[in-house]
Amino acid sequence: MQFQQPNLGFGGMWLAPAFFGALLVLLGVLILLFPRLLALIVAGALITIGASLLAIAWAMRGRVVYRRFDDEDEL
């Protein structure tokens, strides 16, 4: 009598967590060996996030419409 595991449809689903787990372990080891690397990673992330927010603000700038609201205006 042979036992088979049911096919749940998760064939290669373990690859992504395994890859990112190994990548994080490697990054942790590199930071332990080169502590300055952490400062570079954080600085790069902050610069990227700041530049992205500035680009979003620049794109939104033309879409904002200001309208004067007076008491005599009808809704």
Flag whether 4 is in a domain.
no
Neighbours of 30 (CB within 10 A): 13
Kind and range of the H or E run holding 52: helix 36-61
Residue 24 lies in a domain: no
pLDDT, residue 75, reads 57
Name the domain count of the chain: 1
In a domain, 53, yes or no: yes
CA R_g for the chain: 26
Structure tokens at 12: 């290669």
Q: What is the pLDDT of residues 33-45, one digit of tens each?
A: 999 999 999 999 9
On whether the pTM is more than 0.75, the answer is no
- The domain of 45 spans 35-63
Buried b (16+ CB within 10 A) or exposed e, 37-51: eeeeeeeeeeeeeee
